[in-house]
Structure 1
Amino acid sequence: MKAFFKNLIFVCAFSFAVHSGAQVTTIKYFNPAPKGEIPIMAWASIPANELTDTNFMALKEAGININFSFHRFKNLNDVKKLLKLSAKYNIKSIVTCPELKSNPDSAVKILKSCKGLAGYFLVDEPPASDFEKLAEWAEKIKKADSKHLIYLNLFPYFVDPVTFGGTYEDYVEAFINKVALPFVSWDIYPITTAGIKTEWYKNLEIMRTVCMRHNLPFWTFALATPHTTSITYPTPTIEQLRLQLYTGLAYGSQGLQYFTFWCPPRYDRAFDYHEAPISDEGVRTHVYELTRTVNREIQNRAFVFLDGTVEAVNHLGEPLPEGTHPLTTLPKGVDTLYVINGGITVSQINNKGRRFLVLVNRSWEEPADLNLHFSAKAKLIRRDGTETSANLYETLTRIAPGDASIYEILSNK
């Protein structure tokens, strides 16, 4: 995230000693969202002074099922109020407050019985040098509560290698091995006014590879709030949101996050944050409606992605994104698949024996045209979750900018 969030990194507050070979408690990952739903999290959500029914209803209506709030949370009482409202609206919250770092054992014992609790937040974008301190902090929380998640968010691929203590893969491996949390989250906002960051797909490839190695799920982000650092990030369109969210899912993401959902307070506006889904006055913006639309269609097709195994991710269309792999063998049940113009991500997902083919247009500006023909019986999975025979359609297929075409391949016969 950006510099204004660095007050979340409690490095200077750590006083934990880490001993080599210390026993690590393992917490098993679970889906904190309602049954059958993909976790969709509002990152930087409702501030402590805005905890109202109206604002929680806004999250609920937008399709947010996981909430992460931290602005102005001064103590446990603020967090308990947050969790009470979370439970009322069947939204789970990841929480943080000063007591969680100063006295984690006591804080967790108070919070762990709250019905609205999803888990506990540690830090945002820690360097590798902090992993041992974080491991000790996480261990204290795990021993007090092994039934809720512990969450932190890692740096993206393109940060200074010194931060990683080696390569980016080394950084992710060290986090998994030392801190031992039940899932991995990292942020990268690929869409800028200058185009797509070339590192985005490489970051996805590395994260997928490492998480598969450890049998861990990962969560990905979409940028919902425009701002400016050394890079200008535009106000998102629905095509840009779809591209970020569906690409994450195509690579195997088991949770989606919006940065940010509530606009950062005015005193934190160093980077000109504006036009978030919900303004800092608590008013819904036009971006709110975009997120609501996309969230609904994603949950309509959650059965494709949730708990699925991505067996292969490849790409068609030149130029291939950095770090990716071209499609050289057709998926089973497909006898024709080639791009006429544009480029697509090709994901093959096995979900409890059901085989899905997910094609994502890599451009948020232009449609992708391709020839697609199935040798097997196949279904087209529409945005509303309904299904129809894909064999009824012509082979010429157009995927709208940033969009995904999703199919279930029923047999190889």
Structure 2
Amino acid sequence: MYLMATLLGVIAVDAEQANHFPNPGFGEFSDGLPTGWTLNSWNQPGTKVAIHRLEPGRDGTGHCLEVQPTTPINVARLFSPPFPVLANQDYLFKGYYASTSRSVTTNSRFIDASAVSLTGHWLDADSAEVGTFKIEMPDTQDRWVEVFQDVRTPETARSLQIEVARRWVGGRLRLDDFSLREGSIRDYIEEFSITEVADEEFFPIYGWLTPGSPSDQYAGMDTDKYNADYAVANFNINLEQTAYAGFGVKYRPLGKLTDEQIIESGKDPRVWWFGGASEPGNKDFPELAAATERIRRLAPSKDYWVVLFPTYADDFHGRPEEYDEHVRLFLETVKPKHFTYDHYCMVGHDPRVHADSWYSPNREGDYFPNLEIVRHRALEADVEFGVIVSVGTFGPNRGVSEAEMRFQAFTTLAYGARSLGWFTYLTEIPYGHWTNWEDHVINRDGTRTRHYAMVKYVNSEVVALAPTLLRLESTGVYHTQPLPPWTRSVTESPLVESVEGGMGLVGEFVAEDGDTYLMVVNRDFIEDATLRLSLRKTPTAVFEVSKQTGAEMVANEYSPDTRVLTLDLAGGDGRLFRLE
């Protein structure tokens, strides 16, 4: 059900940045609609689309506009009153929305970018339409997400009318804080920029195939809009940019650089890595060692970034011992400060069939053996490692659910990973013998998919945990039954006696001050679980590190009388605790 609705909200702005939207906080409401608004709803007697002012708004204060859930057999459009604009003027349109798209069709486009949209209608002095702009608004899993677009008024435009449409989906839609301000995204760049943190608190998060890609398919996509989208989703490194593009996102210089260019880039705090190799073979290691040594000599604070094969690559498939030797030889020869590898474990169309299969990550699949090997060799060499995991459909891999996205992120964190990559951000062109590239973070036409809100929030939680995780050393990782290959049972844990209530994973860490930490993950990437951890000793107190703020808070789920920590965990989710 496509329901079109417009609304106005307000952002605190000064006199030079006035919001031209009328009724900016939905404070004025009459006859069941914001004052001056109209509703056009197909099958309204049967579906009874209800719209009202809801408290609080997105930031916990004020109001927002809510379109209540209804049957999907509905098309609804909500129109704002026209309001004056200047001709030939650059404006920034911005707003916030939260939605759940309950679809009557299996066509993912209705969830991704065809179910809810916002259209701006430019009108002339006679109220005739002289132009439009459109913003697609995919499902956000009922979380608030900002939308924005640079727009320019046509020469004959005198007013703007906004239409928000919801078509052929049910579920809830909320709207808040809409504005139209003179200028462009670049004029308000701080609103869209990554928060700067100290290097010791910087946890690299990046997409594969990002704004700035040299592919002809994405020519022009390194504009402010796409770079801002990337930063708003809490990606803090762009692997494709060869120069700083703004929004606080660091980059890695690519290509054949002179010594002078490396020296200068080494002084730039916006450079995090230098471009390296992807999936090299053993024969390539001497050349990578020379490149790494050159970077270390000319830019000692930076690293040369290399992505290794996964265990299932043709060179090692079914022979994890050979893969282990591959990683060992790489570290011994190249001597990096940080390295990563890619592993895409969410295969098959049906998650339940996959979960019950022998090749499931939780059974005989090599997802956890890959983590075990890389973690062991990284600790042995005293270097950091990261993992690149999957988002959308390609080859045998399916587009992941939020639970599967969390599973990939939090299992890698529990193993001590120090960077996280998502494959891919932009949707790849048909590549090799695969033609099914779909459902990544950004569609080929530049619109967001359902994965945008998912990855934005998972990334934000990693960012919140990063200052704590980056000062911890991994001391062990333990699993409940069924034990994946190469893993250790939770019965071997020095901190946890047992875990009941589901498939659990416990990553154990120690800080420099001697405090111990646990990251507890629900290994089930479909169902929620209530895990009960029995601790071997009675800590003075147990604190949780908030995934929203990074601050510690008392873990009320812990009972000192029984030494049991009882945790409700969504599918694939993880939580971090400090034992005092």
- TM class, shorter-length: 0.7 to 0.9
Task: Please tell me whether residue 94 in structure 1 is matched to residue 261 in structure 2.
Answer: no
Task: Please tell me whether residue 365 in structure 1 is matched to residue 526 in structure 2.
Answer: yes
Task: List gaps (5 residues or longer) in structure 2.
Answer: 1-195, 349-353
Contact 1:32 1:66 in 2 (8 A): no
Pick from 214, 221, 232: which aligns with 1:61? 232
TM-aligned CA deviation for residue 216 of structure 1: 0.5
Q: Identify if the C-alpha distance between structure 1 residues 267 and 211 changes in structure 2 by more than 3 Å, giving closer, same or farther.
A: closer
Between Structure 1 and Structure 2, whose CA radius of gyration is higher? 2
Q: Identify if the C-alpha distance between structure 1 residues 143 and 379 changes in structure 2 by more than 3 Å, giving closer, same or farther.
A: closer
Aligned length: 356
Match in the other structure for 1:275: 439
Structure 1 or 2: larger helix share?
1
Pairing of 1:175-186 with structure 2 (within 5 A)? 175-186=330-341
Name which of structure 1's ranges 119-128 and 239-248 shifts more when overlaid on structure 2.
119-128
CA distance in 1, matches of 2:198, 2:421: 13
TM-aligned CA deviation for residue 323 of structure 1: 0.7
CA distance in 2, matches of 1:282, 1:95: 25
Secondary structure of 2:527's aligned partner = coil
Q: Identify if the C-alpha distance between structure 1 residues 92 and 177 changes in structure 2 by more than 3 Å, giving closer, same or farther.
A: same
CA distance in 2, matches of 1:325, 1:165: 16
Q: Deviations over 1:106-140 (max 9, x none)?
A: 65356445553222222210111221222233334
Match in the other structure for 2:567: 397
Pick from 310, 323, 326: which aligns with 2:489? 326
Name which of structure 1's ranges 113-122 and 196-205 shifts more when overlaid on structure 2.
113-122
TM-aligned CA deviation for residue 288 of structure 1: 1.1
Pick from 375, 380, 385: which aligns with 1:208? 375
Q: Deviations over 1:83-102 (max 9, x none)?
A: 231xx3221112323x34xx
Contact 1:356 1:407 in 2 (8 A): yes
Pairing of 1:144-293 with structure 2 (within 5 A)? 144-161=298-315, 167-193=322-348, 194-195=354-355, 196-197=360-361, 198-228=365-395, 232-265=396-429, 270-293=434-457
Aligned AA (1:364): F
Same amino acid, percent of matched pairs: 24
TM-aligned CA deviation for residue 172 of structure 1: 0.8
Match in the other structure for 2:285: 131
Note the aligned Cα RMSD (angstroms).
Answer: 2.8
Q: Deviations over 1:362-411 (max 9, x none)?
A: 1111223332355222123343235433355565533221011322111x
Secondary structure of 1:241's aligned partner = helix
Q: Identify if the C-alpha distance between structure 1 residues 166 and 271 changes in structure 2 by more than 3 Å, giving closer, same or farther.
A: farther
CA distance in 1, matches of 2:287, 2:462: 37
Secondary structure of 2:276's aligned partner = strand
Secondary structure of 1:172's aligned partner = helix
Contact 2:295 2:303 in 1 (8 A): no
TM-aligned CA deviation for residue 154 of structure 1: 0.3
Match in the other structure for 2:578: 408
TM-aligned CA deviation for residue 35 of structure 1: 4.9
CA distance in 2, matches of 1:391, 1:132: 53
Contact 2:266 2:300 in 1 (8 A): no
Match in the other structure for 1:349: 509
Q: Identify if the C-alpha distance between structure 1 residues 264 and 111 changes in structure 2 by more than 3 Å, giving closer, same or farther.
A: farther
TM-aligned CA deviation for residue 304 of structure 1: 3.3
Contact 1:314 1:347 in 2 (8 A): yes
Q: Identify if the C-alpha distance between structure 1 residues 397 and 113 changes in structure 2 by more than 3 Å, giving closer, same or farther.
A: closer
Secondary structure of 1:123's aligned partner = coil
Secondary structure of 1:227's aligned partner = coil
Match in the other structure for 2:274: 120
Q: Identify if the C-alpha distance between structure 1 residues 373 and 109 changes in structure 2 by more than 3 Å, giving closer, same or farther.
A: closer
Contact 1:344 1:362 in 2 (8 A): yes
Match in the other structure for 2:124: none
TM-aligned CA deviation for residue 329 of structure 1: 4.5
CA distance in 2, matches of 1:265, 1:402: 30
Aligned AA (1:92): K
Task: List gaps (5 residues or longer) in structure 1.
Answer: 1-30, 71-78
Q: Deviations over 1:64-104 (max 9, x none)?
A: 1111117xxxxxxxx2xxx231xx3221112323x34xxx5
Task: Please tell me whether residue 39 in structure 1 is matched to residue 197 in structure 2.
Answer: no
Name which of structure 1's ranges 159-168 and 302-311 shifts more when overlaid on structure 2.
159-168
Aligned AA (2:488): H
Secondary structure of 1:219's aligned partner = strand
Task: Please tell me whether residue 305 in structure 1 is matched to residue 459 in structure 2.
Answer: no
TM-aligned CA deviation for residue 347 of structure 1: 1.1
Q: Identify if the C-alpha distance between structure 1 residues 292 and 122 changes in structure 2 by more than 3 Å, giving closer, same or farther.
A: same
Secondary structure of 1:301's aligned partner = helix
CA distance in 2, matches of 1:392, 1:190: 32
Secondary structure of 2:439's aligned partner = coil
Match in the other structure for 1:84: 244
TM-aligned CA deviation for residue 34 of structure 1: 5.1
CA distance in 2, matches of 1:166, 1:347: 23
TM-aligned CA deviation for residue 272 of structure 1: 2.2
Aligned AA (2:223): T
